[in-house]
Amino acid sequence: KDFVAKANTKKYPTAVLYGVFQADAGWFDQDQGSRSDYGPISSGADIRRFRLGAKGQITEHTNYAMQVDFGFFGRPTIQDLYVEQTDVPIFGNVRVGQWKQPFSLEVVSSFRYTTFMERSVLFQAFTPFRHLGVGFYDWTDDLNMTYAASVFAAGQDQYAGSMSLSGGYASAERITYLPMWECDGHEYVHLGLGHYFSTPNNHVTNLRTLPEAFIGTNPASTGTSGQGVSGSQNGTPFFVSTGNIYIDCFNVIGTEFLWVNHRWSLQSETMVNFVSTRDHAADAVFSQTNQGTAILPGTYAQLGYFLTDDYRPYDRKAGAIDRIIPKHSMAFCNGNCCSPGWGAWEVAARFSYLDLNANNATNVRGGNITDYTLGLNWYTTPYTKLVFNYVHSVSDPGTAPIGTPPYILNTNRANTNIFMTRMQVDF
């Protein structure tokens, strides 16, 4: 009896170990323009993500998560690191710490469940991702609607540690709605609307993105990490980039759409970034900007189809894509009379587009990129998958000399073909 009493007292805090890793390989094929714009990009293999963490409960209504990444360039990189109070009056769930700020369907959904190896070109350029802040999230009782908002520090160093200079701060809000939810979640339509505001550190920002590929090495560039890591080689170069521009703030509006019908899924997001620029004379570090508003648009649309009798589940409390659980996980039958399975197989295609050129006097000329992606996913078990992606990227990097008309880019059009494969495990 005493033992039971003590065991009950010791119920909290709980701690569960969790983790994930991805081993990637990528091959690049560049035309003359791509080589001239980005230099030769070496094919390669690398650890894309390697995360370990602990999560659990402090009390019945207090959760925490603490995770770190050892595979990315600024290693270790701080991932989720928060504590939240659930069942709070009015706000629902209140969270303090670092987590993916509420903006964009493909960002809020875990990378473990997304259709392609990398999120679209919108992700790096226009979404906040993880930051240190305070926020809340909740859902309606019928689970057809979620809403979330937060304020957070705007800057980050290469370890994903918060870096706040001159008080850079930001905020994000998101609302989602399910107009249709049938067949126990095998048929549904998700709609979402988000807003992201930021006053960056020292009023400087750099909007940029990779070509939906991280593997690939360009020794002459600081690549993926955006910051030189001493003695370490870096990944694929940014394909479009505004450079450091001097701004007051920026506002991004984003829409989300996801339609799932058994084996089929259709997903699309569109964003527009309204950048309030400041006057700034040209120097070695900053791109020259004039006062005004640069309006920068981007979008992606993707179609998926499961060859096996599987579908893409949905988390109604997070407003996010959930884990794919194959009807029949892969199994070999070495003489045993088990029923062999081949996992879940999915084919998919994506079109994505990002324009970082402002066709006005603000002088923001980050270039534009259009990507066409084909994908094949083999979900061998609920916790392992093999992914094959082919990306054809067409880009005009925005590195025109200062002083030329901003809407004319005199760089070469780059055509880059990328074939990538990934092995993923999580637990």
Interface of this chain with a copy of itself, residues 217 to 236, rule: CB under 8 A: 217, 219, 227-233
Q: Which of 418, 396, 416, 417 is nearest to 407 (CA)?
A: 396
| Spatial contact of 416 and 28, defined as CB atoms under 8 Å apart | yes
Pick 297 or 313: Cβ nearer a copy of itself: 313
Degrees, nearest 5: CA angle 182-184-188 = 40
Q: C-beta of 120: minimal distance to a copy of itself in Å? A: 25
Separation between Cα atoms, residue 85 and residue 146, nearest integer Å: 17
* Amino acid (one-letter) located at 164: S
Task: Choose, by CB under 8 A, the member of 1, 6, 89, 284 that binds a copy of itself.
Answer: 89
Pick 198 or 380: Cβ nearer a copy of itself: 380
- Residue 427 makes contact with a copy of itself by CB under 8 A: yes
Say if residue 326 is preceded by a cis peptide, omega within 30 of 0.
Answer: no
Q: C-beta of 385: minimal distance to a copy of itself in Å? A: 11
- Residue 94 makes contact with a copy of itself by CB under 8 A: no
Pick 135 or 367: Cβ nearer a copy of itself: 135
Q: Which of 284, 312, 297 is nearest to 368 (CA)?
A: 297
- Residue 75 makes contact with a copy of itself by CB under 8 A: yes
Which residues from 330-349 bind a copy of itself, rule CB under 8 A?
Answer: 331-332, 334
Q: Which stretch binds a copy of itself (CB under 8 A): 72-80, 122-130, 191-199, 363-371?
A: 72-80
Collapsing DSSP to helix, strand or coil, 7 comes out as helix
Pick 276 or 381: Cβ nearer a copy of itself: 381
Taking CA atoms, 18 is separated from 41, 80, 129, 313, 322, in Å, by 34, 12, 21, 21, 17
Query: Which H/E stretch holds residue 160?
Result: none
- Residue 37 makes contact with a copy of itself by CB under 8 A: no
Which position has the token pair 């809403």? 147
Taking CA atoms, 421 is separated from 26, 107, 318, 351, 389, in Å, by 7, 21, 29, 19, 6
- Residue 47 makes contact with a copy of itself by CB under 8 A: yes
- Residue 66 makes contact with a copy of itself by CB under 8 A: yes
Q: Which stretch binds a copy of itself (CB under 8 A): 31-39, 67-75, 246-254, 264-272?
A: 67-75
Task: Choose, by CB under 8 A, the member of 39, 53, 185, 297 that binds a copy of itself.
Answer: 53
Q: Which stretch binds a copy of itself (CB under 8 A): 105-113, 249-257, 380-388, 402-410?
A: 380-388
- Residue 88 makes contact with a copy of itself by CB under 8 A: yes
Q: C-beta of 326: minimal distance to a copy of itself in Å? A: 11
- Residue 387 makes contact with a copy of itself by CB under 8 A: no
User: 104-137 burial, b for 16+ CB within 10 Å, e for fewer?
Assistant: bbbbbbbbbbbbbbbbbbbbbbbbbebbbbebbb
- Residue 83 makes contact with a copy of itself by CB under 8 A: yes
Q: Which stretch binds a copy of itself (CB under 8 A): 77-85, 272-280, 353-361, 403-411?
A: 77-85
Which residues from 285-304 bind a copy of itself, rule CB under 8 A?
Answer: none
| Spatial contact of 276 and 360, defined as CB atoms under 8 Å apart | no
Which residues from 124-143 bind a copy of itself, rule CB under 8 A?
Answer: 132-133
Q: Identify the bridge partners of residue 259 per DSSP, sorted by sequence position.
A: 189, 266
Structure tokens at 373: 């992606």
Query: Which H/E stretch holds residue 199?
Result: strand 187-199
From residue 251 to residue 290, the character string flagging contacts with a copy of itself as x (rule: CB under 8 A) and all else as - is: ----------------------------------------
